[in-house]
């Protein structure tokens, strides 16, 4: 999970670094803010998942996890409107490819042995 978070972070950096201000749907500042928050949300999901794996079965953790996953999905859709370069498109696709299996594990299987995935 640590490697996936790191790779997601690298991909978001690629989106931020490759961003130019010539898109009409999102400004560069909005895209940067969203990309930075994506890193926070992926880390939030991991923190909650590990708490649940350690038998901290608070109902609020499930709600927080679901909210973080939903926000990540919504922001990823928003970022797809900001694709002025092929590099950004490629990085967004990489994030999608990493996010789907990450979301499946974090969203459903609360098992310590699944945490390493």
Domain boundaries in the chain?
2-114
Mean of the pLDDT values across residues 85-92? 90
Helix (H, G, I), strand (E, B) or coil at 70: helix
83 in Cβ contact with 95 (< 8 Å) = no
Read off the pLDDT of residues 27-79 as tens digits, 9 standing for 90 and up: 888 989 999 999 999 999 988 888 888 877 778 888 998 999 999 999 999 99
Taking each helix axis as running N to C, give the angle between helix 28-53 and helix 59-79, from 0 to 180 degrees, rounded to the nearest 10.
150
Nearest to 21 by CA among 98, 109, 88, 70: 88
Helices (H), the chain: 2-18, 28-53, 59-79, 86-108
CA distances for 99 relative to 19, 28, 57, angstroms: 21, 23, 24
Note the residue count of the chain. 117
The half-sphere exposure of 92 on its side-chain side, counting CA atoms within 13 A, is 23
Read off the pLDDT of residues 14-25 as tens digits, 9 standing for 90 and up: 555 444 444 347
Q: How far apart are CA 100 and CA 57, in angstroms?
A: 24
């Amino acid at each position: 999970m640590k490697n996936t978070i790191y790779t997601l972070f690298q991909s978001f950096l690629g989106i931020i670094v490759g961003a130019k201000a010539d898109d009409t749907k999102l400004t560069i500042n909005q895209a940067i803010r969203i990309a930075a928050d994506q890193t926070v949300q992926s880390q939030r999901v991991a923190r909650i998942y590990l708490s649940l794996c350690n038998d901290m079965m608070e109902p609020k953790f499930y709600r927080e996890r679901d909210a973080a996953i939903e926000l990540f999905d919504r922001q990823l859709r928003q970022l797809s409107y900001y694709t002025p370069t092929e590099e950004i498109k490629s990085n967004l696709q990489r994030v999608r490819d990493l996010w789907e299996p990450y979301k499946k594990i974090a969203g459903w299987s609360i098992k310590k042995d699944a945490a390493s995935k």
